[in-house]
Amino acid sequence: MNSLNWEIENFTEIRYADFFFARFDDWQQFMQKGNEYLQEMRQYPKFNRFYRDFNWGSVPSNMITEETQTIEDLNKGFYKSYMEEELLENVLVAFDEILADIDMGGSFKKQKLIITDRTQGIFDFGLASLGLFAEQEFYSEKLAEESPLEFPKEPKGVVPPMFVTLNQVGDYWYVSNTTGKKYKMTRQDKGTQAAIYDGYRPNEIPTKYKSFKTKQKKSYLMFKKEGGKAKKVDLYVPMGGLGGMSASGMLQRALPLFMAARFFESVGIRTRLNCARVWQSYGAVVAPNATRGSSGYSAITVTIKDFGEDLDFTRLAVAVADERTYRYNMWKLAPAITAKFYGSAQQGAGTTLYGGNEMSETTRRYKNWYYEEIEENDKDWIEIPKPLMIFGGVPNPENRWTYTGNKEESGYKNVVQEFYRILDTVDLYFNDAQKACQRIYDRWVETGEKSVFDFKQYVNKTLSEAYSVAEGGQYADPTEEAEEINEKFDEKAEQVSQFLIDIQELA
């Protein structure tokens, strides 16, 4: 029997609690529908009495920005800029540097590209007719500012290709011999920067500045078909935090999910990101159609990067770690959304769940609700295996966090640990568990980072969370499905046991 079947001491109040779930395809839909529900629910006196303590008539001083100076601005939602741009830049430095340094362990092979003349592929100028391609150069604005004479024969900020390295997720880096710093490079046609310094715009570079070579007649790139269905992963990024949580803590909490999405996309695994507000909620029955109690556990999710879309870090940060989004729009609309669907208004604030049994129980039942909506209410949502619907985030985030580059500080280690948990969950699902265990063992035990006991505990917990079931109460796993999940868990567990036997560490 799976160890996370919720046979947990003193857990009765969770097992029989009420659960309030809702999902939106994008942020615009969340704002539009949420405001419609708010106007509709205002007709109920009980809702108004519950709701009147909230003052939504003025912009709180800590939410006034150039973009949101009036209540009308604040009510629009899905803002174009993040409240704290400097903070976002700091976290993105952490994102790039951590992802560049960690060991992916060969969990997934990158999809192979093939060159073809089929127009279904992606047109590549470098493979165009006559076999011409533009030579490349690598540029860093930051390097140009800090060390303009790094390469005297090149335009400032330009680094010759032989000094640039490519990491495992496709980013280009240069380590300066002058400053000792690491710079992320932008790849562009050779001659681009010289033309810009001569006054030309990036999209108007004359051909005379560029350099071309002959390589290939065929001019289209396509991923080689490996057979089978495209791999997909559905990641749920935590939104907000408890009262003391600042924007920097919220971003730290979300960072491992952003990193995981970047990595999965780089190896051909299509990834969706969803903002996930998961909390212990408190409320009141306010409408005649009430189907639930007054309080319970709530989860409202909003897709913020769909399959096939690029990562837009400003948009992602606004969605999960911006006080205007979390402590204004979500808090304002959550009572109306839950009242609309269940007749019971749940405060948007409540108590944020960071992890542990309550979080696991609530999110497992959310997945079951997701599938019930597909099967019983004809929702055209994409069906993704439940172990790959991964709710994550740093489980013990710091209220405030500034990335310093120190790999020994707890914030850095917590981000890396959670990233690996997500990576390993997907690795264990798609790949042979023995091989996945070897990668985890090499990473944690062979390096001396953790003990064999820690390794066993980690693998068991990771598998148990991925193949958990919810028993009894609302949105419980059907008996037949629960049996199938336990069979899959046992199959993976046997592979783990075989790995431990092979390395003589079964005891």
Q: What is residue 10's predicted lDDT score, i.e. its pLDDT?
A: 33
Is the pLDDT at 9 greater than 50? The verdict is no
pLDDT in tens, 126-147: 444 445 567 889 999 999 999 9
In this prediction, residues 209-230 reach a mean pLDDT of 57
Whether 255 and 97 have beta carbons less than 8 Å apart is answered as: no
The share of the chain scoring above pLDDT 90, in percent, equals 47
Residues, the chain: 507
In this prediction, residues 471-500 reach a mean pLDDT of 90
Q: What is residue 219's predicted lDDT score, i.e. its pLDDT?
A: 47
Which of 130-139, 285-294, 318-327 has the least mean pLDDT? 130-139
Is the pLDDT at 5 greater than 70? The verdict is no
pLDDT in tens, 159-197: 988 889 888 788 899 999 888 899 999 999 899 999 999
Confidence bin at 6 (pLDDT 50/70/90): very low
Is the pLDDT at 3 greater than 50? The verdict is no
Nearest to 251 by CA among 393, 98, 102: 393
Confidence bin at 367 (pLDDT 50/70/90): very high
Q: What is residue 25's predicted lDDT score, i.e. its pLDDT?
A: 96
Q: What is residue 77's predicted lDDT score, i.e. its pLDDT?
A: 87
Is the pLDDT at 469 greater than 80? The verdict is yes
In this prediction, residues 76-81 reach a mean pLDDT of 87
CA angle (38, 39, 40) in 5-degree steps: 90
Name 265's Cβ contacts closer than 8 Å, sequence gap at least 6.
271, 311
Q: What is residue 127's predicted lDDT score, i.e. its pLDDT?
A: 45
Is the pLDDT at 506 greater than 70? The verdict is no
Is the pLDDT at 24 greater than 90? The verdict is yes
Q: 449-482 b/e with 16+ CB inside 10 Å = b?
A: eeeeeebbebbeebbbbbbbbbeeebbbbeeeeb
Q: How far is CA 181 from CA 147, 413, 501, in A?
A: 10, 21, 45
Is the pLDDT at 353 greater than 90? The verdict is yes
105: left (phi over 0), alpha (psi -120 to 50) or beta: left
The share of the chain scoring above pLDDT 70, in percent, equals 86
Confidence bin at 332 (pLDDT 50/70/90): very high
In this prediction, residues 497-503 reach a mean pLDDT of 86
Confidence bin at 287 (pLDDT 50/70/90): confident
> Which residue's entry shows tokens 């290709």?
161
Give the full edge-to-edge strand order of the sheet including 136-139. 158-159, 136-139, 182-189, 172-175, 165-166
Q: What is residue 41's predicted lDDT score, i.e. its pLDDT?
A: 92
**Main-chain phi, psi angles of 21, to 5 degrees:** -125, 150
Query: Chain centroid to CA 186: how far?
Result: 24
List the alpha helices (DSSP H) in 391-472: 410-430, 433-444, 452-466
In this prediction, residues 289-304 reach a mean pLDDT of 90
- Greatest Cα pair distance in the chain: 77
Q: Give the 3-state secondary structure of residue 154.
A: coil
